[in-house]
Amino acid sequence: MDGILAIHKEVGMTSHDVVFKLRKILKTKKVGHTGTLDPEVSGVLPICIGKATRVSDYVMESGKKYKAEVTIGFSTTTEDQTGELVEQKIVNEHTWSTENIRSTLNKLVGEIEQIPPMYSAVKVNGKKLYEYARQNIEVERPVRKVFINSIELTSEISYVDQICKFEIEVECGKGTYIRTLATQVGELLGFPAHMSHLIRLKSGGFSLDQAVKLDDLREIVEQDKLQNVLLPLEYGLNGLEKITINDEDIVKRIQNGQKIEKHLIDEHKHDGIFVVWYEEKAIAIMDTYEKNSALYKPKKVFL
């Protein structure tokens, strides 16, 4: 039982809850998620099973897409709808036009800096930030650079009870906090803000319409149809460059962990990591050998 499942995590469950339940459903211990989703967030959560756990890091590196609701008018301790009120500022009806909001969102496209929320799992001095937060201890948080591919305004701008709400879709790289992004939108507009709802639409090359809920998966397993939804390990490597080789001797050398002269595999001799394929199967992830730039070395081999 090796492959990747796209699970539709529902609100109220942690990512660890999903892994725990999957181990029971699939009757296997080798199950790992590819990055957490907060309990109040629903959406696609790729899960690696068996040998596919070896590619979980590469699945995590793939881009993500979210649908979020931004609320302008007050901020919270957690930067989302679950936190306590921190600051409030009345928003007057029609304070901003649609173009005002769009131009503000465009300012956050590209590489930006974020400070992780105090209620997050980022570690400072070996301790998770949310552990400090629960003890009311404020610590200096590391500034991180993240990449925002796009932000689209996907709803009307509504004004209710002296607050403003609208929905956005965000495509972004690893490590982006959408709730922090919502507060940054507010900062650019000069108002306190938070993220009031979030769904993850894509992750690791999987979209929400491919994802299976746990209750449905139980039925699929009972009907012995798991292979209909379990995708091969190779699917988790779609974000890496692919080079196909046909030389069986080179394949054997790679599978034995040997270093290979670059010109035997890749005429362009590039320096990034890539996947070597043979007979429509991924056999290894390769990288430049740090002691000799004319050689590639296998980082991971899939026998």
pLDDT tens per residue, range 189-236: 999 999 999 999 999 888 999 999 999 999 999 999 999 999 998 888
pLDDT, one tens digit per residue, over 157-169 is 999 999 999 999 9
Tell me whether residue 215 is one of the annotated catalytic residues. no
pLDDT, one tens digit per residue, over 251-266 is 999 999 999 998 888 7
C-alpha dist (Å) from residue 111 to 62, 101, 174, 177, 201:
16, 19, 12, 13, 21
Question: Which pLDDT belongs to residue 58?
Answer: 83
- DSSP classification of residue 233: G
Question: Which pLDDT belongs to residue 254?
Answer: 93
Q: Which of 38, 161, 216, 271 is catalytic?
A: 38
H helical segments located in the chain: 15-26, 56-61, 98-106, 129-134, 178-189, 214-222, 248-255, 262-265
Question: Which pLDDT belongs to residue 166?
Answer: 97
Question: Which pLDDT belongs to residue 115?
Answer: 87
For the chain, list residues with pLDDT below 70.
268-269
Question: Which pLDDT belongs to residue 55?
Answer: 87
- DSSP classification of residue 190: T
Tell me how far apart the alpha carbons of residues 256 and 271 are, in angstroms, rounded to a whole number: 22
pTM of the model: 0.86
Tell me how far apart the alpha carbons of residues 194 and 74 are, in angstroms, rounded to a whole number: 7
Sequence-distant (≥ 6) Cβ neighbours of residue 59 within 8 angstroms: 4, 34, 46, 48, 203, 204, 205, 236
Tell me how far apart the alpha carbons of residues 249 and 253 are, in angstroms, rounded to a whole number: 6
As given in the structure block, the two tokens for residue 121 are 């799992």
Mapping DSSP to helix (H, G, I), strand (E, B) and coil, where does residue 107 land? coil
Question: Which pLDDT belongs to residue 137?
Answer: 81
Written as one string, the DSSP assignment of 265-300 is H-TT--SS-EEEEETTEEEEEEEE-TT-TTEEEEEE
Question: Which pLDDT belongs to residue 268?
Answer: 65
